[in-house]
Amino acid sequence: MKTTNRRSFLKASTAIGVAVTGLTPAEAHAGPRNILAPGRMGVLVDTTVCIGCRNCEWACKTAHGLETPPLETYEDKTPFDRMRRPDDTALTVVNRYPNAGNPELPYSVKVQCMHCDHPACVSACIVGAISKEENGAVIWDTDKCIGCRYCMVACPFQIPAFEYHKALNPRIMKCDFCAERRKAGQLPACVETCPVEALTYGPREELVRVARERVRRLPDRYVSHVFGEFEVGGTDWLYLAGTDFANLQFPKLAERPAPGVSESIQHGIFAYFVPPVSLYALLGAMMWTARHRGDDDEEK
């Protein structure tokens, strides 16, 4: 190391600088598809209409090739005794909450992926295995996923589920907004099967308008809050309710997109590789001067 002179040091440092900056354009485009299309579709869930028949749970499992007992067994209401969450065996579940105004008519709330407009999972995924599609769906790619479960850490709604009991190729399981069915011109399975039209499928913009209109026309029936209109920067699945959303175990979330701060920090640290390259140059300069000073001392 003693033989290092200024020229060879500068040459090598420049070479590294060039090599690193050469990567920049690729880096800038690297990442999953994350499209926020103006015409993206969504679903409006009216929890005051839902009767808790759980047919959507059956339709979802059938459409996604998951194991399910026959439809008749879903008449059983005992699952409502405890709060359930979507998992690797059920991508959507319906929970029931008491209605203080009318004990005979409890609120039923269908739960699934909200298909955020600025999904934290898409931002977080280490390999870009999750993407936001033009049609609104947030979908997962089995060919990329490494099973790190960072999407589960990131999701503000705690939706992605993992197949913990599979030793090989465990999957991340979550509602895919029936991406395949919709491509074939079909409705999402849950929407198609709902007997009371508690689920309305349509362009998100349109749904927001419809939801606001319902709240305006029936102020006694609804609380004045369309859940998902602004939460975490907007979600494509929207909810109407007859009681405060906190009573239905919806998380209280800010309007800032979920990945917000994290992405700013990340892009700040890596702004076109300027900070790391500058640090490299600074340390190089420090090392060179320190070494040089050392040589002077030894000569004395």
Which residues in the 262-281 window bind other proteins by CB under 8 A? 262-263, 265-267, 269-270, 276, 279-280
Total of residues contacting other proteins (CB under 8 A): 77
Q: Which residue, 81 or 298, is less far from other proteins as judged by CB?
A: 298
b/e for 149-173, b at 16 or more Cβ within 10 A?
Answer: eebbebbbbebbbbbeeeeeeeebb
Q: What residues contact 152, with CB distance under 8 A and at least 6 apart? A: 158, 160, 161, 162, 172
Nearer Cβ to other proteins, position 168 or 184? 168
Residue 196 or 271: the one with the smaller Cβ distance to other proteins is 271
Residues of span 14-33 touching other proteins by CB under 8 A = 16, 26-28, 30-32
- Footprint of other proteins on residues 203-222 (CB under 8 A)? none
Q: What angle do CA 244, 176, 34 make, to 5 degrees?
A: 90
Beta strand pairing status for 199-203 and 237-240? unpaired
Selected binder of other proteins within 58, 107, 140, 162 (CB under 8 A): 162
C-beta closer to other proteins: residue 102 or 266: 266
List the interface residues with other proteins, window 235-254 (CB under 8 A): 249, 251-254
- The reply on whether position 296 binds other proteins by CB under 8 A is no
Based on the shown chain and the rule CB under 8 A, indicate whether residue 66 belongs to the binding site for other proteins.
no
Please select the residue that binds other proteins; options are 58, 157, 222, 237, rule is CB under 8 A.
157
Q: Is 181 in the site for other proteins (CB under 8 A)?
A: no
Q: In a 10 Å sphere around its CB, with 0-12 CB exposed, 13-18 middle and 19+ buried, how is residue 39 labelled?
A: exposed
Which listed residue (51, 66, 152, 179) binds other proteins by CB under 8 A?
A: 152
Strands 41-46 and 237-240: parallel
Of residues 97 and 280, the one with the C-beta less far from other proteins: 280
Longest CA span, the chain: 95
Q: Where does residue 283 rank: exposed (0-12), middle (13-18), buried (19+ CB within 10 A)?
A: exposed
Expressed in angstroms, the distance from the first to the final Cα of the chain is 21
The residue (of 13 and 243) whose beta carbon lies closer to other proteins is: 13
102 vs 262 by CB, closer to other proteins: 262
Give yes or no for a contact between 130 and 86, defined as CB atoms under 8 angstroms apart. Answer: no
Q: 130 in helix, strand or coil?
A: strand
Q: Looking at 36, 218, 261, 274, which residue binds other proteins (CB under 8 A)?
A: 261
